[in-house]
Amino acid sequence: MANINELINFWSYGKQTDIVTPQVIANFWRLTNLNRKEWPQNPVSEDDAAEIGKGHEFATQLFKSHYMPPEYEINKYLSSEWAAWGFSFALGNVVKTGTGPYTYTITPILGATNPTSLELPYFTFTQQIRPGGSAVLDQSFVGCAVKSLALNVNNNPGRQSATLRAGIVTSGKYVEPSGLTAPSPTTLHEMGAGLLTALTINGIDYFTSAKNFLSLDWSWDNNFRTGFFPGSGSQDGFQIQGRIEIGDRAHGFRYVARFLNGSTELTKLRALTTGTCTITFTLDGNNSLSIVEQKMGFRAAVLDEQDGIVTVAVTGDPLYDSTNGLVTVTAVCPQNGICQ
Amino acid sequence: MAQQDTAWMKSPDGEVREVAVKDLPPLMAQGWHQTAPPAETKQEEK
């Protein structure tokens, strides 16, 4: 038997050339995961129970259908490197500059202009428990993509004050045993809520003047289309997906702040005021994260209370600006090659 | 530390030019993507 604490994950920070070609181990990193579960492979099979002619209603035979691993969560405390990776693979249009540290400027892909059309960058994910002759688990999933991304910032101290959670999916293609040796763990540069250096939402500066911010939930979902089609491929007789394409993507922005005399959230909601939104974490000159919503309006502002203090829960409405687009993320970190 | 704060970008129409990092967002919103520097630039670097 094996202890779940023996589970190790490592995945590529570099992108695959296509959905079926795994990345090379040189472009992998080994990171920890707050999700303590393995990623199930989930082979789907069918039977003949519904077919007439057997003389009864029971199934007599199983048939292989397809691999459909569920969405798997990589949940980590926010760090410059992890942010660069998560936003790069979730949004897809990445420009890398610098020679160390490296600046990653990231925007959402547009299907019409993206070199890979509706497909986001793919990566390879490996999970192992005691790899080798007596392996308990040793699989590489080829052709993985980030389906969802969620940034949470809250007002409780500690590492959990800022977390970035990625929901990933895969084509179903796998390599077992992986044939890979896990690299040494990568040291990340974490950035908690205390390292926020800018927090302005629709003209309201919550960092410098109005020190009333309580929590933020930034979310992204690529709403992938299913990638099974004639000729998409198979492994072990189970069909696998040949593409993972974005659907109608969803972007959410919610936050909670204290509500007091002079608060303008309700005023801006009633006036349909829009403005940019800037959220910046800065650890040092080599590690930072900046999220700029190019045109933010408010959809709802509901008064509530938290710990007995009057609050306002605002649902933002990220809009697409005709010049600057929807959102621009800039991540600076020492790690080269992210999504390259 | 000296930084390379520019990137070679390619427009949807095929135009290639060097762009400062600060000028990237509107271009990326229009579908520009990072590309390799032109061959003559690599020659100059040599």
Q: What is the pLDDT of residues A273-289, one digit of tens each?
A: 999 999 999 999 999 99
**B6, B7, B25 ranked by CB distance to A325: nearest:** B25
Minimal-distance CA residue of chain A relative to B4: A98
A152–chain B nearest CA distance, Å:
24
- Cβ contacts (< 8 Å) between A98 and chain B: which residues? 3-5
B14–chain A nearest CA distance, Å:
11
Q: Does A269 touch chain B (CB under 8 A)?
A: no
Average pLDDT over residues A134-152: 96
Task: Report the pLDDT value the prediction gives residue A211, as an integer from 0 to 100.
Answer: 76
Residues B11, A24, A146, A95, CA torsion sign: negative
- Cβ contacts (< 8 Å) between A95 and chain B: which residues? 7, 9, 21, 24, 28, 33-34
Task: Report the pLDDT value the prediction gives residue B1, as an integer from 0 to 100.
Answer: 39
- Cβ contacts (< 8 Å) between B28 and chain A: which residues? 93, 95, 105, 107, 325, 328
pLDDT digits (tens, 9 = 90+) for B1-46: 345 689 999 999 999 999 999 999 999 999 999 999 888 655 554 4
pLDDT digits (tens, 9 = 90+) for A165-185: 999 999 999 999 999 999 999
Task: Report the pLDDT value the prediction gives residue B3, as an integer from 0 to 100.
Answer: 53
Is the CB of A107 less than 8 angstroms away from the CB of B25? yes
Q: Which residues of A269-296 are buried (b: 16+ CB within 10 A; e: fewer)?
A: beeebbbbbbbbbbbeeebbbbbbbbbb
B27–chain A nearest CA distance, Å:
8
Task: Report the pLDDT value the prediction gives residue B2, as an integer from 0 to 100.
Answer: 43
Amino acid identity of A24? V
- Measured CA to CA, the distance from residue A79 to residue A162 in angstroms comes to 9
> Which of A105, A277, A338, A340 best tests the B interface by mutation, with the highest count of B CBs <10 A?
A105
For chain B, give the percent of residues with pLDDT over 70.
76
Interface of B with A (CB under 8 A): 1-7, 9, 12, 21, 24-26, 28-34
Q: Does A179 touch chain B (CB under 8 A)?
A: no
Indicate the average pLDDT of chain A: 95
Q: Does A107 touch chain B (CB under 8 A)?
A: yes
Q: Does A292 touch chain B (CB under 8 A)?
A: yes
Is the CB of A99 less than 8 angstroms away from the CB of B9? no
For chain A, give the percent of residues with pLDDT over 90.
92
Minimal-distance CA residue of chain B relative to A101: B3
User: How many CB contacts within 8 angstroms connect chain A with chain B?
Assistant: 67
Task: Report the pLDDT value the prediction gives residue B38, as an integer from 0 to 100.
Answer: 86
ω into A108 cis (within 30 of 0): no
**A95, A107, A114 ranked by CB distance to B29: nearest:** A107
- Measured CA to CA, the distance from residue A256 to residue A317 in angstroms comes to 14
**A105, A113, A326 ranked by CB distance to B31: nearest:** A113
* Residue written as token pair 């000296």: B2
Q: Is B22 helix (H, G, I), strand (E, B) or coil?
A: helix
Is residue A323 exposed (0-12), middle (13-18) or buried (19+ Cβ within 10 Å)? Answer: exposed
- Measured CA to CA, the distance from residue A218 to residue A21 in angstroms comes to 32
Task: Report the pLDDT value the prediction gives residue A99, as an integer from 0 to 100.
Answer: 93
Q: Could you tell me the two tokens for B2?
A: 């000296």
- Cβ contacts (< 8 Å) between B30 and chain A: which residues? 113, 325
- Cβ contacts (< 8 Å) between B26 and chain A: which residues? 323-325
H helix or E strand, kind and range, residue A269:
helix A265-271
Amino acid identity of A106? I
pLDDT digits (tens, 9 = 90+) for A287-332: 999 999 999 999 999 999 999 999 999 999 999 999 999 999 999 9
pLDDT band at A260 (very low <50, low <70, confident <90, very high): confident
pLDDT digits (tens, 9 = 90+) for A184-240: 999 999 999 999 999 999 999 998 866 789 999 999 999 999 999 999 999 999 999
Average pLDDT over residues A69-87: 98
**A93, A99, A113 ranked by CB distance to B4: nearest:** A99
Task: Report the pLDDT value the prediction gives residue B10, as an integer from 0 to 100.
Answer: 94
The answer to whether A295 and A320 are in contact (CB under 8 A) is yes
**B4, B9, B25 ranked by CB distance to A328: nearest:** B25
